[in-house]
Amino acid sequence: MSADPNRGLALELERLRGTPGEGPAEIKGALALLVHRTDRVDQELGDQREALSGLESRVDGAESAISAQANHPARLAAVERLVWIEVGAAAVLGTLGGWAVGALL
C-alpha cells in the first residue's frame, strides 16, 4: 500500500486554493478600517480646531478688555478731580445758603 505521491500534492493545492481569494479580502478590510479611523481622526481634529478657535476668540476679547482698562488710572484721576470740584461747590453753596437763611431770619 503505497501512498499516491500526487494525492499529497492535490491536498496541498486544494488547501492553497482559498488563500489567494482571502488575501485581497483581508487587505480590503484593513484598508476600510484605516479609512474609517482616518475619517474619525479628521473629524476630531476639526472639532479641536473649532474649540481652539473659540478659545482664541475669548482670549482676544479678554486682551482687548484689559487694554481698554490700560488708561484706568487717568480716568480715575479725572473722576476724582470732578468729585472734588463738586464737593467744593457743594460746600460753597451750603455756606452761602446758610448765610442767606441766617440773614433772612
Q: What is the pLDDT of residues 24-72, one digit of tens each?
A: 777 888 899 999 999 999 999 999 999 999 999 999 998 888 877 777 7
The pLDDT > 70 percentage for the chain reads: 90
The three-point CA angle 36-27-21 to 5° equals: 140
pLDDT at 42: 94
Cα–Cα dist 6/23, whole Å: 26
pLDDT at 1 exceeding the cut of 50: no
Cell of 2: 503505497
Distance in angstroms (rounded) separating the CA atoms of residues 16 and 27: 18
Q: Sorting pLDDT into bands at 50, 70 and 90, what band is 100?
A: confident
CA-to-CA distance for 80 and 82, rounded, in angstroms?
A: 5
Q: How many domains is the chain built from?
A: 1
* pTM summary value: 0.45
